[in-house]
Structure 1
Amino acid sequence: MAPSAPFNPPSANLPGKPFVPTWVPPPVTQQKENFAELSSIDLSLLDSDDPAVVDKLVQQVKVAIRDDGFLFLENYGVSLEQLHRQFSIAQYLYHNISEEDKQRLLFDPETGVWSGYKHPYGFKRNRGPEDGIEQFNWYKPDWQDINRVPTCLHPFMDEIEEFANYLTKSVNRRLLTLFSRVLELPDDYLWNNVQSHGSPTGEGYFRHALFRPVQKKTQEASKGLRMHGHTDFGLTTLLFSVPISCLQIWGRDEQWYYVPYKPGALVINIGDTLEIVSGGHFKATRHRVYKPPVDQLNEERLSLVLFNSSVGDLRMGPASESPLIQREGCIEEQGVYKEFKNLTSQGKLVPTNKQWREIQISTATDPTDQVRNRVGADQVLIDGKVMHQREYMGVKVVLPV
C-alpha cells in the first residue's frame, strides 16, 4: 500500500476561534500497582520497503491480538503536540458547555445509541446517583448537523472532524491492513467488507469523556468501579493513553491489571465483531474503568476514544476465505466466539452486527464484581456455574462462559 501521510489538521489560529487553554497532562502515579505488559506496535513499519520488516510486524501483531486483545500503537501519524491540542479542545468543552446545551443535547440511551451529552448522574437519561462521568459522543447524524453539537465547540469542528477522519480513514485503515494480513487476506479485506463507512466514524462514534473525582461514599458504594467489566461490541477501539491509571484489563490469570501510560500512544482493543470475523483468532478482552491509585484519586481523567463499528446489516460469522482459518480452523475456547457459536447452534438465525450489539445489552447487573468467581456485568451464577445472560431476538438465553 502507498506510504501514509501524517496528520495535517486545520489551523488552530483561524479568525473566530477562541483562545483554548493548553491541556497539561496530570502526573503519573508513583504507586506500585499491577500493570499489564502490552506489546507496542510501530505502525510506521508498515511503510517499510523491506518485506522482512513488514512480515516481522505482522507476526508481532498476530501474537498480541491472539494473547492479549490489547496493544499499544505508536508512530501512527499524529504528533504529541497535535494530540494535546485535541485534549485541550475536549477540556474546553467541559469548562464551557452551557446548561441549555446539556439539556438540549442530552443523550437518550433507550434508542440504543449514545449520541450527544451524557450527564454525570449514571447511564440513564433520568438522573440517578452521581457517577462523575461526563461524555459527548459524535455519531453519523451529529457530524452532519452542527446544531447537534455544543455551541462552544462550533468554532473547532473543523479540527475535531479532521481528527476523527484521520483516525478512521488512515490509522484504523492501516491497522485493519495488519489484521487482514494476519488472516492472510488482501490488505483491504476488513476495510472493504467489514468496516462501516459514510461518516468520519462510519457507524461507530467518537467520544470526549471526563471522569471527575467522586466522593468517598460514592466510591465505597460502587466498590471503586467507574465502568463495569465489558468487551466492546464493535470492530476496534482506539483510546489515547492518559496518565491517570483507571483502565484495567482482565488477564489470563484471572486478575485485573492497570494499563500503563505511554505518552502519545493509542491503546487498541479488539471488539466482539472482529473476534467473530477472525473465528476466535483475535481476542476481545474484558476491560473496565476502576478507581486510580491513591495518589491520583483527586485528579480528573480526560479521555478521547474512537469506537469503530462494522456494517450494521453485516451477517456475523468467520471470514471463511481466510487461509489461516481454513488451515487452523476456528478457536472456540475464546469467550466471545464461543458465545457466538453456542448462540447460533441453538437454531436461531445468525445475527447481523446490529443484532449482536443488541445481544450485548445485559439483562443482569454487576453489584459485586466478584472477579475471583468470574462474574462480570453480563454474567450470573446459576448452581455455582458462571453463565452469560443475554436477550436475543426477544428471547432470554443463558449461555456457558
Structure 2
Amino acid sequence: MTIAAPSEHPPPIPHYVPAPEAQEQLDYADLAIIDLAQMATPAGKAALAIQVRDAMREQGFFYVINHGYTSEQTERMFDVADVPFAGVGDEEKQKYAGKMLQTGSYQGYKLRQYWHIDKGVHDQVENYNLNRDVTKKEHPEAVRPLLPEIREFSKQNHLNVLHPILRLLAVGMELPEDTFTDIHGYNAVGESYTRFMKYYPRSEEEEQKTGQVWLKGHTDFGSITILYSQPVAALQILSPDGKWRWIRHIPNALVINAGDALEYLSGGFYRGTIHRVVQPPPSQRGYTRLGVFYFAMPDDNVKLVPFRSPVNPVWVDRKFSDEDAPTMEVHRKGRTAAYGKTVLKKVDGAATAGEGFGVEEEVINGVVIKHYT
C-alpha cells in the first residue's frame, strides 16, 4: 500500500463536538507542566531535564505544552479520531477487529465488551489502533483517505514529542542523551501505535457492580504514553499519598506517563504509573469520551534489562534477572493477549496502595502484574 503525502486540503469529515468541561470541584492532581519550547537552548534543556526527572519520579505523570501541534491541528485529529467509530458500521468493524489473543497485537479494532471489568461486567470502550507504519494492515473504507494525516500524526509524536522526552529522561539519569532514543527507532520493527479510543456511557446497574470503575487501576506496558488532553473527567492517577486524583483538562496539552518498559529499562528509577478510568462526574454523564493516544514502545528486539546509571540506586524490587529479561516483543505480546481476559487473583492491597484499595494479580511470562480497584 502506498500512502500519499498529506494534502493541503484534507478530506472533509464531520466535526466532533466534545462535552463541556466538568462543572464540579474535583480533587485534581498537581502535575508539572513541561514546555518543550525550552529545549531550544542548552540552559533550557538542562532545566527541563531536572523538571522531567522529578515529575516522573514523584508523580509519574506530567503535561507537555508547545509540542508542535496547533490547537486547530489537534482539533482536526479529534475529528479524525471519531471516524473509525461514527463513520464505520458494526459489520465493517467486525471485519477489521484485532486478534489480540492470537497475535498479541492491538492493531485494528478492540470492540466493546471485550475486556472483563468486574462481577461479570464487560467494558463499553471501542478503540482503533494503527501501527506507526499505517501500511501494515488494511483499514476501513472511511479511514483510508485519512491515512496520510494519521501517519504524519504518528511521526510527529514519535520524533517531536517522544524523542525529546526520552532524551530528557536519559539526562535525568546522567546517561548519554540518546540512550533511550536509540532503542525507540521510528523505522525499526516495533509496535508503537496511534490509538483512537471512545468510551460510551454504561447502565446504572453496571456502574453499581463495578463501583463506577471503567478500567481498573493499572500500569501501561510500553515506555511512554502520550494522551491528548480532552474535557471529559474520567482519568485518575494513584498519587504518592495513596489517594486517587483526577487529571485536569488543559486545552491542547499532552498528558505523559511512564509504562513498565521504562521502569525495567531504568532499573526502577522511573516507575510505571498506576492510573484508572472511572465514571465522569454528574455534569458530564451521558457524553461519550473520545481519546487520542500515542503508545510508545522500545524496538521489538530490545531486551528489557536496566541501563546502569551513576544516580540509580539498587533496584530492590526488580521483576526479573538480566538473564530472564524478556524482549519488548515477548513482553508486549504477553500483556496484550492477557489484558481483560485472564482470571485475576485477589491479594491484600493495603500495603501497596493504601487502606481501602483492592489489588488483583496475574503472572505473565514470570512477571507479577498488579491491577488496582
CA contact (8 A) 2:267 2:318 kept: no
Displacement of 1:84: 0.4
How far apart, CA to CA, are the structure 2 residues paired with 1:369 and 1:246?
26
Alignment CA distance shift 1:152-1:373 (3 Å): same
**Number of residue pairs aligned between Structure 1 and Structure 2:** 355
Q: In structure 2, what is the equivalent of residue 119 of structure 1?
A: 111
CA contact (8 A) 2:121 2:209 kept: no
- Alignment of 1:97 with 2:82, yes or no, is no
CA contact (8 A) 2:348 2:359 kept: yes
- Alignment of 1:356 with 2:340, yes or no, is no
TM score, norm. by length of structure 2: 0.86
Secondary structure at the counterpart of residue 311 of structure 2: helix
Q: In structure 2, what is the equivalent of residue 23 of structure 1?
A: 16
Which of residues 307, 311, 315 is equivalent to 1:324?
Answer: 311
Secondary structure at the counterpart of residue 207 of structure 1: strand
Alignment CA distance shift 1:145-1:359 (3 Å): closer
Counting only pairs closer than 5 Å after superposition, residues 49-60 of structure 1 correspond to structure 2 as 51-60=42-51
CA RMSD of aligned residues (A): 2.8
CA contact (8 A) 2:346 2:359 kept: no
Deviations 1:243-292 (A, max 9, x none): 10111111111111111111111100011111122122212111111111
Range that drifts further, 160-169 or 220-229: 220-229
Displacement of 1:316: 1.7
Deviations 1:168-194 (A, max 9, x none): 1221111111112112222222111x2
Counting only pairs closer than 5 Å after superposition, residues 267-306 of structure 1 correspond to structure 2 as 267-306=255-294
Deviations 1:146-204 (A, max 9, x none): 6x211101111111111111111221111111112112222222111x214437x9422
- Alignment of 1:344 with 2:321, yes or no, is yes
Alignment CA distance shift 1:283-1:130 (3 Å): closer
Which of residues 229, 232, 256 is equivalent to 1:244?
Answer: 232
Letter in 2 for 1:246: A
Q: In structure 2, what is the equivalent of residue 4 of structure 1?
A: none
How far apart, CA to CA, are the structure 1 residues paired with 2:30 and 2:346?
29
How far apart, CA to CA, are the structure 2 residues paired with 1:158 and 1:375?
44
- Alignment of 1:185 with 2:160, yes or no, is no
How far apart, CA to CA, are the structure 1 residues paired with 2:347 and 2:233?
22
How far apart, CA to CA, are the structure 1 residues paired with 2:107 and 2:83?
19
Which of residues 59, 64, 67 is equivalent to 1:73?
Answer: 64
Letter in 2 for 1:376: V
Larger radius of gyration: 1
Displacement of 1:308: 0.4
Secondary structure at the counterpart of residue 13 of structure 1: coil
How far apart, CA to CA, are the structure 2 residues paired with 1:81 and 1:175?
23
Q: In structure 2, what is the equivalent of residue 153 of structure 1?
A: 143
Displacement of 1:38: 0.6
Displacement of 1:355: 3.3
Secondary structure at the counterpart of residue 186 of structure 1: coil
Counting only pairs closer than 5 Å after superposition, residues 166-205 of structure 1 correspond to structure 2 as 166-192=156-182, 194-198=183-187, 202-205=190-193
Letter in 2 for 1:344: S
Displacement of 1:398: 9.3
Alignment CA distance shift 1:52-1:277 (3 Å): same
Displacement of 1:215: 1.5
Q: In structure 2, what is the equivalent of residue 207 of structure 1?
A: 195
Displacement of 1:106: 1.1
How far apart, CA to CA, are the structure 2 residues paired with 1:92 and 1:108?
21
Gaps of 5+ in 2: none
Q: In structure 1, what is the equivalent of residue 243 of structure 2?
A: 255
Q: In structure 2, what is the equivalent of residue 385 of structure 1?
A: none
Higher relative contact order (CA 8 A, sep 6+): 2
CA contact (8 A) 2:154 2:193 kept: no
Which of residues 372, 375, 381 is equivalent to 2:358?
Answer: 375
Displacement of 1:366: 7.8
Percent of paired sites with the same residue: 30
